[in-house]
Structures are given as C-alpha cells and as structure tokens.
Structure 1
C-alpha cells in the first residue's frame, strides 16, 4: 500500500510502518492535494505506486480542493484502488475547505467504485481524548491516536479489498 500524507501522517509514520502491512509511507508537513498528486504521479511513473493508494490529505485544503482531488482520481492508472482519508480539525466548521473536502470525498465512492473512504474525520470526532492538549489536528505522541489512525486505514483497506480496481 502506498500512503501519501501530510503532517498528521508524518507524526504517526513510524507507528503506521509497524502496524499497516506492506506500507510505503511518504508524508510531509504542509502537504496539499496538488503536492500529493505530484508524489502519486512520480511513484506511478517510477512503477513504485502500489495497488492500494491511500491519500491522507486535507488539513491544508486549498480553494481548488475539488479540482485537485479529481486530478488524482482521473490520472490514477488502471489496476489501482484509491482510499481517501477524510481530514479532521476540531476547530473547523462546515465552511472550512477541509470540511468541504470531507463532504466531497464521502460522495465519491457512489460514482467511482474503486474508491473507498477512510473516514478519519468522523472517527476522530468521536474520540476527543486523542486530541487533548493538542491543536485539534495533530495527535503526535499520543499512542491512542496512532492506534486509531492505523485502525481507520486498516479498516478501509479491508473494505477496499471487496471493491474493483480502476479499469479506465
């Protein structure tokens, strides 16, 4: 599995490496969807992009989040399955780009059967203890956050195994 993430993923990269089987993790602070697209395309060109592609981006959602997300969907080559992890920010309201991105992502599997949602936004909101004493986005150093984040990815992987790969 190829995991492409932002600072949230970066903070738990070591744990993910140990608890998400066969994962290749590329995470960087302040990464936006357009930068995740570049990483995905580089891996695709070098034939290192794995069958399952997990995009853990959204905390830093830009105004063109929809266009950038659609580029990922359309330019992902056939044979892959895409897992989109919804972002979480305890301070964000419905007008924030990260919240709008999560709404968009949750609708995509209806149209694109090779997409599975890892609903971090929903699950994280149910576990405020993971963010106690943090900025409401990053849980780095809180083991319960590491465990929960990895579980959301692993659960989505399990669900994605039941879906078809992209065909065209």
Structure 2
C-alpha cells in the first residue's frame, strides 16, 4: 500500500456536511433508529461539491470529471469506515469515524482519480450499507449491499465519476 498526503477537509465543507446530516435527520421519521449518511465528492477541476445524503448522486455524470476524494459523515449508524483506491497509489488505508464526525479519503491537487471507494456504515444492528458507482466508460455499475461495500473497480484504470451511498 502506497501512501498519499492526508486529505484536508476545508472547514466550510465539513460545516456543510454537518448541516446536511442534521437537516436529513430532521426529515427522517422512523420507529427504528433513523440512519443518515451524507457525503461530498471532490471532483477534478470543480473542487468540493455540495453534500448529498442517503442515495443522492455525488460527483458528475457525462462530464469526464473524475472524483478525487470523498468525505462522509453519519448519524444513527454508529459511524463508518472508509477506504479509497487511488490511481497509481492503490489502497490508502481504512479510516473509521463515529457518528457526527467527518473524514475524507483520496487526494486533492494531485490529479489522481479515485478508482474505488469502500464503505462500511455502522456498528449497530440497524445499519445496512448500500451503494452504487458510476465509472468512466462503463456507466452505473450494479448496486452493492453488505457489511463492506466496494464502489468502483480496481486494476482497470477507470475513474469513479459519481457515487450513491445509502444506509
């Protein structure tokens, strides 16, 4: 595993991510603990996008603009573990967060695409991870479900262009 510099999540992006989780939590009503996952993509030449939650699309489609980094924050899942597979670097290493914390994986300013993104939402019996990736030259791959979900590909040199994650 090669290493890359830690991705610095700007305070403004972290604040928007926190606000998105709080807003999403306030709209979710359930008899079971409500789970929210919000995430934000850093897209080459576009920078950090606005956060989206629970199945909304982060990234771009049809613009040939690869995702370079992803930040995530959860509520009601017990937290999350994430890992990024970056062009020319491989897997960067798993990082875990608790609910209410945000963390980014990938790179910025190095013109290196994310090729795959692993996510595991939660450490509670109510958490279930699902996701889907839009990959360069392939379009939307089938949705994945499970404890650890891998979005994207490895060994094919294909960039992630968009992702969807749900709890």
Give the TM-score normalised by the residue count of structure 2.
0.28
Select the structure that is richer in helix: 1
